[in-house]
Amino acid sequence: MDRQGVSVSLLFPVMKTIGRLGYDWDAFCRYAGIDPDLFHNAEARIAEPEFERMTKAAALYTGDELFGLHQGQHMSISDLGVLGYVMLHSQTLGQALAAYQKYNFIVCSGFNAKLEIQGEDAVISLFINDSPALPSRHCMEDMTASFYQMLLGLSRRSIPLKAVQFMHDQPPGIAEEYVRGFGVTPQFNQKANTLTVAKEVMEYPVLGADRRLLGIFEGIAEEVRMKLTQGSVLTGELYKWIIDCMPTYFPALQDAARHMHLSVRTLQARLKAENTSYNRLANEVRKELAIHYLAKPEYTIAEIAYLLHFSEPSAFQSAFRKWTGAAPGEYRHRIEVLK
């Protein structure tokens, strides 16, 4: 699966901003040379330079010199889709940032973030992977403002910024717009794009999960739970517990033993007596969840791989083929044909 470039889903915030400013999206697509059919393929990716071109075109089309900054200020965690959903189920902002660093390729393979603790400060660097060129001003201001909004949205509390740095030049005459958005005057022409907060901010708890996305997961999880929990008391309890863990992490055998108040060896022996193993149970949960997610076309294969906590979409592809004899895309096509 191609993980390069930007997910087409990142154009939807641009679409929302175009509409919020009172412009017609179809007219903008014609102006910017964007193929409307692009949005019919949830798996589509856009080359990063092309995405930057589209963002610059949006700024010119709307006449908004700070289009990227303004768009980032209206970012919602749900704009990140499945990635945002899983971040919402992290315990702290630091853990949510770690999840973002590991799996943000779902929405953009190039952009990433790095956290450094410097004394009493937490410095979040925002950058384009392996890019010698200076990122587009509109894209970087969008990403920086979005990242700040993400911290605010996840914690549901005030987070004063100590500093904001940008690598690009300052646009003339509009410094007050940055202060309104960040609470501080950014420094321009710096060596990196950074947000600086107090280090204790990384320990702030994540609050307020997106109920729409959570409801989707709960509906699927309930169907899988009803199918799998018809066996013995032990396997039924383990199936239920693994499903409950899945929004946040994929539990290991050691985690299961602690939950059951058993030693690892005792748990393995009891499962062996029932002609099963923990690995088999855990993979059965993954398989059934995958089948139910594939029936929902709004989720891409990469997003499903992330929801099931595979390290790579290719690992999910291989596992699903072993489970069913078909690749996830082939299986989804069969479902669509039968509808």
Which CATH superfamily hosts domain 211-338?
Answer: Homeodomain-like (1.10.10.60)
Digit-coded pLDDT (tens) for 256-266: 998 888 899 99
Task: List, in sequence order, every residue forming a beta bridge with 126; answer none if it has no partner.
Answer: 113, 193
3-class DSSP state of 295: coil
Check whether 240 has a pLDDT greater than 60: yes
Write out the DSSP string of 211-227. HHHHHHHHHHHHHHHHH
CATH topology (fold) of 6-203: H-NOX domain (3.90.1520)
Cα–Cα dist 37/155, whole Å? 37
Asked whether the beta carbons of 85 and 309 are under 8 A apart, the reply is: no
Q: What is the pLDDT of residues 317-328, one digit of tens each?
A: 999 999 999 999
| pLDDT value, residue 101 | 80
pTM of the model: 0.66
Q: Where are the domains of the chain?
A: 6-203, 211-338
DSSP H helices, the chain, are 11-20, 25-32, 48-62, 67-73, 82-88, 93-103, 137-155, 175-182, 211-228, 233-245, 253-260, 264-273, 278-294, 301-307, 313-324, 328-338
The answer to whether 6-203 and 211-338 have equal CATH topology is no
Q: pLDDT digits over 26-61, tens only? A: 899 999 999 877 776 666 788 888 888 999 999 999
Beta carbons of 335 and 294 less than 8 angstroms apart? yes
pLDDT tens readout for residues 177-189: 899 889 999 999 9
How are beta strands 193-198 and 121-128 bridged, if at all? antiparallel
User: Is the distance from CB of 12 to CB of 107 less than 8 angstroms?
Assistant: no
- Residue 13 reports pLDDT greater than 90: no
Q: Which of 47-51, 204-208, 214-218, 310-314 has the lowest mean pLDDT?
A: 214-218
Contact 235, 225 (CB under 8 A): no
